Structure 1
Amino acid sequence: MWTIDAEWILSIPISQHNMTDFIAWSYTKNGLFSVRSAYSVEWNYQYGSKLKYSNGMGRSTRNPIWCQIWKLSCPAKVKIFLWRTLHGTLPCRATLTNRHMKVSPLCPTCSQGVEDTKHLLFLCRKAKEVWKRLGLDMIIERACEIDRAGEAILEYLLLLPDQDLRIMGYENVREMVAISAWYLWWERRKLVHKEFT
C-alpha cells in the first residue's frame, strides 16, 4: 500500500453513531462494486458537468453547445472533431505528455509553446494567421484573454449569440469557426504524421 493511500484512508472520519458497518456501492443496482461502475462514476465527475447545466432548482438541462454542434451545416467529421475537442480528448502533445507518453510537449508547427488545445487552435503562429485571414482575430483575442482553456474558447465562439454575429457583419460564423478549427487540426496531423497528400 502506498503511504498516500494510507493517509487518505486514515483521514476518513469515524462515525459517532453506533452503527454496524456494511458494504455498499450505490453506483450499481445490486450495490456491488465493479471496475466498470467506478470508471462511469469518474467519467461523470470529470465530463458530466460539461454535458449538463443545472438551473439551480435541482433540474438539469442539456448543455446548449451539443445542440449547436449537431445543427451546424458542415461535414460529420468536423462535428465529431468538435465533440472530441470539447470533451478534452484531442491528443495534443501536452495531453499525451500528461498521460506519460514520451513526446515533446512543444508545438510541432511553431516550436514556440506547449501544444495544448488553446495553443493549437488559437495561439500558434499558423492558427493566428488563419483567424486573421478570416477576420476573426479580434474576437479570438478577446476570448483568449477571458479564459485559459482552449475548449472553453471554442465553446464560447460556437455559442456567440446570433444578434452579436449580425452586428459584426458575419454570416455562417459557427460553421467557419468549426471548419477552421478542424482544418488547423488536420494540418497539424499531416505535419506530425508526414501525410503529404
Structure 2
Amino acid sequence: FSASSAYHLFFLGRELFHAAAELWTSWAPLDIKIFVWLVLHDRLWTADRLARRQLEHPECCVLCAQEDENLNHMLLGCCFAREIWYNVLLPWRLHRRTPTP
C-alpha cells in the first residue's frame, strides 16, 4: 500500500475530462474558463442544485419563469438561452443549429 496506490484507487472508475488541459490553456478569458469548468462538472448554483442542498432557491427560472431551473434548462431550454445561442451562431450562418435540450 502506498499514497500513490490510494490516489489511483480513489479515482478508479471515475470519468475523466481529457480536454481539461485545452480548457485551461485556451485563449478564452479566465471567467469563461471557470464557467465552462463549472458547467462540465455540474457545479453551477442552479435552483435544482440549491434545492438538493436544502438552500433557499427560486421556484422556477428567474429569466423566463416557465420551467424549473436546472443546468440543461439554463443553457439550452430557456427561451433567453436559445435567443443567445441563435445570435452567437448567426454570424457564422450556423443559427439553424441552435442547441436544443
Q: TM-score, normalised by structure 2?
A: 0.72
Matched residue count: 91
The Cα offsets for residues 148-196 of structure 1, whole Å up to 9 and x where unpaired, read as xxxxxxxxxxxxxxxxxxxxxxxxxxxxxxxxxxxxxxxxxxxxxxxxx
Unpaired stretches in structure 1, ≥5 consecutive residues: 1-25, 30-40, 52-62, 145-197
Give yes or no for the alignment of 1:140 onto 2:94.
no
Q: How does 1:118-157 map onto structure 2 within 5 Å?
A: 118-135=72-89, 136-137=94-95, 138-141=97-100, 144=101
Distance in 2 of aligned mates of 1:77 and 1:134 = 18
Give yes or no for the alignment of 1:67 onto 2:32.
no
Looking at both structures, which has the greater relative contact order when contacts are Cα pairs under 8 Å and sequence separation is at least 6?
Answer: 1
Unpaired stretches in structure 2, ≥5 consecutive residues: 4-9
Contact 1:92/1:116 (8 A) holds in 2: yes
Q: Which residue of structure 2 aligns with residue 50 of structure 1? A: 15
Contact 2:64/2:78 (8 A) holds in 1: yes
Give yes or no for the alignment of 1:93 onto 2:58.
no
Contact 1:94/1:105 (8 A) holds in 2: no
1:139 Cα deviation after fit: 4.8
* Residues 73 and 115 of structure 1: CA distance in aligned 2, closer, same or farther (over 3 Å): same
The structure whose Rg is larger is 1
Helix, strand or coil for the counterpart of 1:88? coil
The Cα offsets for residues 65-88 of structure 1, whole Å up to 9 and x where unpaired, read as 212312321111211121122111
Helix, strand or coil for the counterpart of 1:64? coil
Distance in 2 of aligned mates of 1:134 and 1:81 = 17
Distance in 2 of aligned mates of 1:110 and 1:70 = 32
Distance in 2 of aligned mates of 1:130 and 1:90 = 19
1:102 Cα deviation after fit: 2.8
In structure 1, give the amino acid aligned to 2:60.
L
State the percentage of identical aligned residues.
27
Q: CA RMSD in A?
A: 2.6
Q: TM-score, normalised by structure 1?
A: 0.40
Distance in 2 of aligned mates of 1:96 and 1:118 = 15
